Structure 1
């Protein structure tokens, strides 16, 4: 079984409307949090900026949350703008739904394929692993990885999931010999 890995190359852009210029793209840049204390309650925001006008937009992570409910390591991560915490926060689907934004993964990922796979005999079984939740149609990913058309993928590939529906989780497929 050959391993294919889908890896993030950078954080995805956010599809989020800017109140100033009406652009729909924003970026986290280097990734910064803002933590604001009000007595024993904390607000935490992820700061993003509009790609067009550079306006800062606050994405609410926590609102009026008691300080005691935070794990000390997590709170320290917010204060020092930990890059892994920025990524984990941004990729949280509940945060995206609550703040009404979607992630734009165009150009933010790559597919790593072992170079010696051509030496394998037919049929070839491949296991695809996602390191981050990049939504990709399996037929497109397989066509891209094998260098064949999507119609040929539909003819030659046997898969354990629907090929035409985007997925964010790993799957396995088998490539049959060509005609």
Structure 2
């Protein structure tokens, strides 16, 4: 934390899945990246696909990344990533929603995620902090899910914090919106700890909700 500012970084786990009818299973199934690209070279042009695999069988579906792209327009490092199935690149492509949209891919569930960043319960010496929510990859997650997860509170408790001006710069109507870009808000820690009844600690919250 620096000068009362810190970041929460939302990091998805695994991959964004897509939903498609599997000809082998004969029903809709989730498809996940297999960890491999397919690269087809024709003289000075390339076709590149991200290979997805059915969650239940070996049926694959290719998601088009580049079609007939001139090799001169492709960065050498990126070209190497495709040729050698670089897993970081597989992950970046899996979370490139413009690529999925171009392929008319139906999204599966929002991936699970964790949030890196300071825990407000450990910041008792600070009055008001400004928190910026950032994304490693822009997954479609609702603001209320981020706040309940990181503050270890119920939805109603988060709403009460907004109404009591403990969480600032966020309105109740924004809680159900899926974030598409970084967001900043303030948290009044002095009032956070003075609430009556007091807010639950993380241990208390998870114990009550088992």
**Normalized against structure 2, the TM-score is what?**
0.72
Partner of 2:46 in structure 1? 42
Cα pair 2:38 2:48 within 8 Å, conserved: yes
Partner of 1:25 in structure 2? 30
Partner of 1:154 in structure 2? 159
* Runs of at least 5 residues in structure 2 that lack an aligned partner in the other structure: 162-166, 197-210
The 4+ residue runs of structure 1 with deviation greater than 6 A are none
Query: How far apart are residue 75 of structure 1 and its match?
Result: 1.5
The correspondence for 1:112, drawn from 111, 116, 119, is 116
Query: How far apart are residue 26 of structure 1 and its match?
Result: 0.8
Partner of 2:79 in structure 1? 75
Give per-residue Cα distances to partners, 1:84-118, cap 9 Å, x unaligned: 221222222221111122253332x2112424634
Partner of 1:137 in structure 2? 142
* Runs of at least 5 residues in structure 1 that lack an aligned partner in the other structure: none
Partner of 1:170 in structure 2? 182
Q: Structure 1 pair 120/17, CA: closer, same or farther in 2 (3 Å)? A: farther
Matched residue SS, 1:136: coil
Question: What is the count of residue pairs matched by the alignment?
Answer: 177
**Normalized against structure 1, the TM-score is what?**
0.83
Partner Cα separation in structure 1 for residue 115 and residue 129 of structure 2: 18
